[in-house]
Chain A
């Protein structure tokens, strides 16, 4: 282990020194009793900048958005007890989407642990199921190594949040500071290279395929494998889909891209997923929102090649024929080398079939509507930002429309909570995105229900002058809940209508931002242009949209991937 020459420091100093050693630019956090020594050390230096959120959930989401939109790692710092429990939603959100993140939490002094002390909670116990790993540091001598391990674990293998719980007395105790240069753990050795024999089998299947399909997920984005994926798909000439977590891995404007798969995926993608003879799955996990009913999916005896860094993702919901465990860029490099010497079959007939499916134009909506259609707002958002914005979203209909209508050509541009589906994610995540990408255009697509779940962060945006553009699709309903109630619960809109909404324009103004109310389709584009021209301020755009609009296509829960409800069916 490399060791930097040691010097006696307090635990709090060590924490800050470790962050500096890791090159951490920002820590998203909120102070409190158990972390006061750490905050005191943060105050005394200016390398690591602290971003004061208004609620710890916001700190976790912001650190998460920071990670997702860059190849850097988000860090958050919260106090013991409620500081931790507030952050749990954000930690679980990052965990479900395999987002690297380091969470530092204060804890009551070691002698008080277990005595129901003020602001005590079993942080390691509460967070265990929603972190990649967590630690409780009981001795200041272990602190630096533990923080190093946290960064190492969070960013290697299948990434994820790692939490380090630090009792207050540990932050006050002193010891020599050594920051290890590298870490080796005998129990943790993520693979890099894929198995050569399996890769050969994959090449054979791919070259012999008559109806191939490439299906990729968040893993391609997280492992920075978008260039290799694009090269592979173009080399083979195969159709390609990216999941909700994987959008932007392959250019969304390309002809070979068929749109997102799954519950609100495109008709052509879902048909191709079902009817292909060889499915190449990369960094995706065949989850319920993508393939629907696994028994229905298995009715077609296609061959499946699955590349993933996590063996437990392989053959979890769907049996796989050629599993390849490895780091995606490494595996794709190996695949590309071999495929360059092969000639895949002619798949013109397959493309003809796909084009017939595509001609159904499954995302069509009423463009002559006198009421603003949410899809129209997203199309205009795409135009006005020239398809080059970072777009965060909350959860619900607006999230699906954003995923369907904003064509992402680059990875790490589409930032959403796909796994956990956390309402309230969009705004704090956008803060992290803006911090990681200063000067970039950042839009937060949200709804009137989601935005109210972390609304307090408008204050943080003011403090740090984050010029985020909030695109609020306001239909006065929890739209996705309302849609399910319409389809499956006899139009009984139980508690999905939101009365007594705030005046969002005044609300934005109250926080010191600009608000704009948009009520007519003709005003959508000018409003967006005006908002995005204001590059130095946050603009809250409140679009009053059609209350009855639904997201199509839709696979009802438990149904097969081809059993879609299309807009034309109704």
Chain B
């Protein structure tokens, strides 16, 4: 079982997301995360699916994705050099006494405080999934009020591109 990041260019049509999500559930494939948004070409959406499975299963996943009529292209990013990023917004307790500590912790992880109230901070943090996990681990668990993660997005390094 290895982790794979699969990028999918798909026609930006109603129901495309459910076709892909439905394929994963119908065939029993894992989904760790799934993100989707339009690209610079408004007729195309790009989806990033993080999944795990044996080589045979990953081969089937890419073949089955390619078979969907709305899918234009599929690339397994993890087959070569690539960059992955995820965005997290995390709301934490930041009362009088822990305000400084919390600020310092955010700085260490290169997070930004984007909203402040009397007793909370909302911190924005970008990185790969492990960095976000590490930040959560580093915090006093009781201090965490709310966490939102986008799931992983990925792109190939250098000249490696996915476009039509």
Q: In the assembled complex, which residues on chain B have CB atoms less than 8 Å from the CB atom of A454?
A: none
Residue of B at shortest CB range from A153?
B69
Taking a contact as CB atoms under 8 Å apart, the answer to whether B18 and A125 are in contact is yes
CA distance A124 to B14 in the complex (A): 11
**How far is the CB of B93 from the nearest CB of chain A, in Å?**
40
Report, as a range, how many residues of chain B touch the other chain: 20 to 34
Residue of B at shortest CB range from A310?
B67
CA distance A242 to B66 in the complex (A): 28
Q: In the assembled complex, which residues on chain A have CB atoms less than 8 Å from the CB atom of B11?
A: 187
A contact residues, total (Cβ < 8 Å) = 19
- Chain A 351-399 interface residues, beta-carbon cutoff 8 Å to B: none
- Tell which of B18, B59, B69 touches A188, judged by Cβ atoms closer than 8 Å: B69
For the residues of B in contact with A, the DSSP-based class is helix
Q: State the A residues within 8 Å of B (CB).
A: 124-125, 128-129, 132-133, 136, 153, 158, 185-188, 310-312, 315-316, 319
Top 8 closest A-B pairs, CB basis?
A312-B63, A133-B69, A187-B72, A311-B63, A129-B26, A188-B69, A312-B64, A312-B67
CA distance A106 to B123 in the complex (A): 50
The 30 sampled A-B contact pairs (Cβ below 8 Å) are: A124-B15, A125-B18, A128-B15, A128-B18, A128-B22, A129-B22, A132-B69, A133-B69, A133-B70, A136-B14, A136-B15, A153-B69, A158-B67, A185-B69, A186-B164, A187-B10, A187-B11, A187-B69, A187-B71, A188-B69, A310-B67, A311-B63, A311-B66, A311-B67, A312-B60, A312-B64, A312-B66, A312-B67, A315-B59, A316-B60
Q: In the assembled complex, which residues on chain A have CB atoms less than 8 Å from the CB atom of B69?
A: 132-133, 153, 185, 187-188
**How far is the CB of B102 from the nearest CB of chain A, in Å?**
44
B19 CB–A CB distance under 8 Å:
yes
B56 CB–A CB distance under 8 Å:
yes
- Chain B 52-85 interface residues, beta-carbon cutoff 8 Å to A: 56, 59-60, 63-64, 66-67, 69-72
Q: State the B residues within 8 Å of A (CB).
A: 10-11, 14-15, 18-19, 22, 26, 56, 59-60, 63-64, 66-67, 69-72, 164
Q: In the assembled complex, which residues on chain B have CB atoms less than 8 Å from the CB atom of A319?
A: 56
Taking a contact as CB atoms under 8 Å apart, the answer to whether A128 and B19 are in contact is yes
Taking a contact as CB atoms under 8 Å apart, the answer to whether A187 and B60 are in contact is no
Q: Which of A153, A186, A187, A310 has the most CB of B within 10 A?
A: A187
Q: In the assembled complex, which residues on chain B have CB atoms less than 8 Å from the CB atom of A187?
A: 10-11, 69-72
Residue of A at shortest CB range from B56?
A315
CA distance A63 to B136 in the complex (A): 57
CA distance A135 to B72 in the complex (A): 17
CA distance A153 to B68 in the complex (A): 11
CA distance A187 to B26 in the complex (A): 22
**How far is the CB of B130 from the nearest CB of chain A, in Å?**
32
Task: For the A-B complex with A132-B69, A187-B70, A315-B59 known, give 18 more contacts whose Cβ atoms are closer than 8 Å.
Answer: A125-B18, A128-B18, A128-B22, A133-B69, A136-B14, A185-B69, A187-B11, A187-B69, A187-B72, A310-B67, A311-B63, A312-B60, A312-B63, A312-B64, A312-B66, A312-B67, A315-B56, A316-B60
